[in-house]
Structure 1
Amino acid sequence: MTGDHYFTAEPNAPAQAREVQFTVAGRDYTLASASGVFSASRLDPGTAVLLRKAELPDAATAGAALLDLGCGFGPIACVLATVAPTATTWAVDVNERARGLAAENAARLGLSGRLRVTTPEEVPADLRFAQIWSNPPIRVGKDELHEMLLRWLPRLAPGGVAWFVVARHLGGDSLQRWLVEQGWQVARHASQKGFRVLRVTR
């Protein structure tokens, strides 16, 4: 056992290489993964629900910036960059190993030119996002989660939308109430397998 979590900046445990396969919008993906990152051995069920139920961007999303917040090894970011080839997708994570894997997967899929993998601090301060996507790290604790959302949600561009997935038993409904209290418009877009897909706008 180690003290590492998927939100550990520099995991100490040796990286055990894995591959994760999944299908979204009729396309098959095979991504590199490794121990020490979130849901290392499979596409997380919440992420699967989010990608299946939320409204994916499309080729018409020209010139827009998209954000995968807490990207892990990159499944959401890779899907966004694939389905919206004229947008720029930013994949952000505090976990160094996750960022390395996300960059490897972007290269594997030929997405490196339009998928940028960075630390939170490396994202330009003036950049605004047409869409923010996240399976947020609930287990960091409520205070840190709220701080993260208060940092990034204001960076939605006018008319932008954020898509979140949260397990009901991990506080999906309470997070929805908190977001409304912060002045956001929040719709429960879908519910499946115990997960809430939230659509958040100004």
Structure 2
Amino acid sequence: MTNEKNQMYFASNPNSKHDEHLIDYRIDGVDVKFYTDAGVFSKMRVDYGSGVLIKAMKDQTFPKEGILDVGTGYGPIGLFAAKFWPDQEVEMVDVNERALELARRNAQLNNIDNVNIRQSNIYAQVDKKFGLVLTNPPIRAGKKVVDEIIVKAKDHLVDDGLVLVVIQKKQGAPSAKKLMTQVYSECEILARDKGYYILASRK
């Protein structure tokens, strides 16, 4: 069981045998390439839910106090955010060291330098507040982890800051919406696409 868990994408040092791929992903004329590998989330393609979030986030307004991508993986959400808002610093955190190394390579590959990519178990190493918090939470890590990402995002938002969460209906979107309404007093469904919900709340 321990060995199996060490191969999961939410492990700090997955021990899966390396199996690298290069993905080319385009949204609305913005093209970003990604190296991926075994032991990271959605290694063969950019996760559909991440794509729905990327599309939804680009039209949002938020205080220009920086952007935080929680559970960045190899970086699709955070690196697109850095492309969309080149004047903003994007902090990209994950517990998975293999994923973070890929994210750093992907930032270099795409000539993106307005990012800070580092290890953090959820918000443990995050000591700033941001105008925008983005997350495609690690559902397989369990509801407790997902709920902590949602609830504690509030502590890392400036006033009027925005948190965007992508989650599938069958994987808990209704309960996540209820939780966000309790924590932030409101929660809007920005988009629905193939069962994926984009949930938005402001501090």
Does TM, scored on the shorter chain, surpass 0.5? yes
Distance 1:174 1:61, change over 3 A: closer
Q: 1:37-88 CA deviation, whole Å, 9 max, x = no partner?
A: 0001101010111112334469x976x3101110000011111111111110
CA distance in 2, matches of 1:73, 1:122: 18
Identity across aligned pairs (percent)?
27
State the superposition RMSD in angstroms: 1.9
> Quick check: 134-143 or 33-42, which moved more?
134-143
Q: Is the 8 A contact 1:61 1:84 kept in 2?
A: no
Q: Is the 8 A contact 1:32 1:101 kept in 2?
A: yes
Q: Is the 8 A contact 1:168 1:195 kept in 2?
A: yes
> Which residue in the other structure is 1:130 paired with?
131
> Which residue in the other structure is 2:18 paired with?
15
Give me the TM-score of the superposition, normalised by structure 1.
Answer: 0.90
Give me the TM-score of the superposition, normalised by structure 2.
Answer: 0.90
Q: 1:93-141 CA deviation, whole Å, 9 max, x = no partner?
A: 00000100001111111113x1110122443x2x111101111112211
Q: Is the 8 A contact 2:184 2:202 kept in 1?
A: no
Gaps of 5+ in 2: none
Count of aligned pairs between the two proteins: 197
Distance 1:36 1:90, change over 3 A: same
Distance 1:61 1:106, change over 3 A: farther
> Which residue in the other structure is 1:115 paired with?
115
CA distance in 2, matches of 1:183, 1:57: 18
> Which residue in the other structure is 1:37 paired with?
40
CA distance in 2, matches of 1:20, 1:184: 39
